[in-house]
A and B are shown apart, each in its own frame.
Chain A
Amino acid sequence: MSAHLLLAGCRIVWVLAALFAPEDAAAATYVVDDSGTIPYEAQAPTRWRTATGPNRQMSSEIEGAASVNVRLNVQPWQNRNGRIYLALPQQPIGVVNVEWATQGRLLPGKLQSGERTLVFAGPIRTAFLEDNLAVRVVADGRRVNATQRLQFHFEIDVD
């Protein structure tokens, strides 16, 4: 019985390792551990935008900005080629436009909710990728009745 138990245990471990250890996987997409990001939950105070419209309409869009020090743990894919994307799922408040500038380690860019945008491509030579992102978010203020939590994530495509 104990031998059976050991054998079964090894099989389970092997299955789990195949599922979760990306360095052993073929080309695939993985969520990147970004838990080192500071602040991990950033507050972006909003203000009304200033776009003009016909009949002296004022913009109904709000924008918020925050600075985020992103720290991505890419150690599982070290010494491999990868493409890392910043992604934001679709939001209940409608389209959210996001734009960010970087210090150069990651690529600046923009995206709409429901999309992802490339922020890094090439060989991964270090265990961590860090950069400071100046993030600006624009949303339809008519649909934002209360504080909304926009859950971003980074994902990596490895060859």
Chain B
Amino acid sequence: MNPGNPFPYSPSARRLVAGAGLVVAALLFPAHFAGAWVLSISAGPKALFLQVGNGSYSGTYQSGGTPLNNATINTVSVEVPASAVGTGTAQQMTSDSTQSVSFYDNFVVCNPPSQVYIGGWVRTPNGSGSGTLSVNSSSPMTSLTTGTQIPFTQISWTSTANGNATADIPAGSFNGATQALRVIAANTWVENCFTFFYANTTVVTAATYTGQVTYSLVLP
């Protein structure tokens, strides 16, 4: 026995005591003892919203609203007087859109029917990244009676908004294919009001020409 050892028993006895100590501790802290309940939160959900013309929202974003589906396809049109056909004088178009307010905060941003609302946003799980707003105009406007066509390259637009003269989505012209209009960063509501113009640079057969462009917002 080592006289300097405060525990006057053999190493094997010490191991036994240590074992007994563990048993006592287990009795004082039963197996189910715990002191940390857990609340798990997930990353923010991935989402996007795109509105062209009339749209729907449950209230406004500002009031906690969320996007709703709206299948409306608005029409933009112009009737060119016979005397003006092909003169190169651009013809302002009008629409059947009634969307004047932004669902961000109900502010009147557009003046329909001459202006068509276009806006959207994206959300990503970590709030970074972006979506791409584009438009496809590959199918030309066609007359159902004559079969003649007018390419969408004859259509251009200006872009503005009440309270925000700087265009978030730039003015431009359709290119007859798919073209990117704007990269929309996560957590930013982007919106503008488009006014469309028919270039009227060629003489076409008198008829009604119709076509459809499709706007897309893609979030990888």
Of A102-110, A117-125, A150-158, the one with at least 4 CB within 8 A of chain B: A150-158
Known contacts A1-B10, A16-B21, A48-B45; A32/B104 CB under 8 A: no
A14 CB to nearest B CB, Å:
10
Please tell me if B207 contacts chain A, counting CB pairs below 8 Å: no
Residues on A with beta carbons closer than 8 Å to the beta carbon of B191 = 56
The answer for the CA separation of A11 and B63 in the assembled complex, in Å, is 65
Report whether B13 and A8 are in contact in the complex, using a CB–CB cutoff of 8 Å: yes
Chain A 28-41, CB-CB to B under 8 Å as 1, else 0, gives 00011111010011
Provide the main secondary structure of the chain B interface.
Answer: loop
Residues on A with beta carbons closer than 8 Å to the beta carbon of B10 = 1
Report whether A50 and B127 are in contact in the complex, using a CB–CB cutoff of 8 Å: no
A130 CB to nearest B CB, Å:
13
What is the size, in residues, of chain B's interface with A at 8 Å between Cβ atoms?
48
Report whether A52 and B42 are in contact in the complex, using a CB–CB cutoff of 8 Å: no
The answer for the CA separation of A147 and B165 in the assembled complex, in Å, is 41
Known contacts A20-B29, A40-B34, A58-B189; A4/B40 CB under 8 A: no
> Which of the four size classes fits the interface of chain A?
35 or more
Report whether B38 and A150 are in contact in the complex, using a CB–CB cutoff of 8 Å: yes
Please tell me if B187 contacts chain A, counting CB pairs below 8 Å: yes
The answer for the CA separation of A64 and B44 in the assembled complex, in Å, is 9
Report whether B41 and A150 are in contact in the complex, using a CB–CB cutoff of 8 Å: yes
Please tell me if B197 contacts chain A, counting CB pairs below 8 Å: no
The answer for the CA separation of A96 and B189 in the assembled complex, in Å, is 25
Report whether B188 and A37 are in contact in the complex, using a CB–CB cutoff of 8 Å: no
Known contacts A16-B25, A150-B40; A52/B105 CB under 8 A: yes
The chain B residue sitting closest to A32, CB to CB, is B35
The chain B residue sitting closest to A21, CB to CB, is B28
Please tell me if A13 contacts chain B, counting CB pairs below 8 Å: yes
Of B92-100, B118-126, B132-140, B146-154, the one with at least 4 CB within 8 A of chain A: B118-126
Binding site for B on A (CB under 8 A): 1, 4-5, 8-9, 12-13, 16-17, 20-21, 31-35, 37, 40-48, 50, 52, 55-60, 62, 64, 66, 68, 70, 135, 137, 139-155
Binding site for A on B (CB under 8 A): 7-10, 13-14, 16-18, 20-21, 24-25, 28-29, 32-45, 47, 61-65, 104-105, 121, 123, 125-128, 187-191
17 pairs from A and B in contact (CB 8 Å cutoff): A5-B16, A9-B20, A33-B34, A35-B32, A40-B38, A44-B42, A47-B44, A48-B47, A56-B188, A64-B41, A64-B42, A135-B39, A141-B44, A144-B43, A146-B43, A150-B40, A152-B37
Closest 6 CB pairs of A and B: A142-B127, A31-B35, A141-B44, A35-B34, A56-B189, A62-B44
A9-B21, A31-B35, A135-B39 are known; give 7 further A-B pairs, CB within 8 A. Answer: A1-B9, A12-B20, A48-B45, A52-B104, A144-B126, A146-B42, A149-B40
